Amino acid sequence: MTDWAWDYNPSQEYVIDGLPVGVVAEVERLATELPALGDEATRVGRPIDREGGLREFDILGGRGFICFLAVPRHTCVYVCNVTWYG
């Protein structure tokens, strides 16, 4: 278990406002699991050829994706954007 946490960046309203409840639940489920990886969260998702920076992860079978930023010095994963194709 790590001491990492997660949060929305810049705000919860900006990132998930207007999304269906099921999509929000999936985003928050993933956001809860990513901090458990600790420093490894900088390596999961796309792009696969480098670590750090803004990362992407498909959600709900490719019907959308989340963008997140894992910041080791803050020990936090920030969910920055959610794209939902519906």
Q: Which residue has the higher pLDDT, 67 or 1?
A: 67
| Both structure tokens of 34 | 């990513």
Q: What is the pLDDT of residues 47-74, one digit of tens each?
A: 988 888 999 989 999 999 999 999 999 9
pLDDT of residue 30: 95
Domains within the chain, CATH numbers bracketed: 5-84 (3.30.2310)
pLDDT of residue 49: 86
Q: What is the pLDDT of residues 32-54, one digit of tens each?
A: 999 999 999 999 999 988 888 99
Contact in structure between 72 and 42 (CB atoms under 8 Å): yes
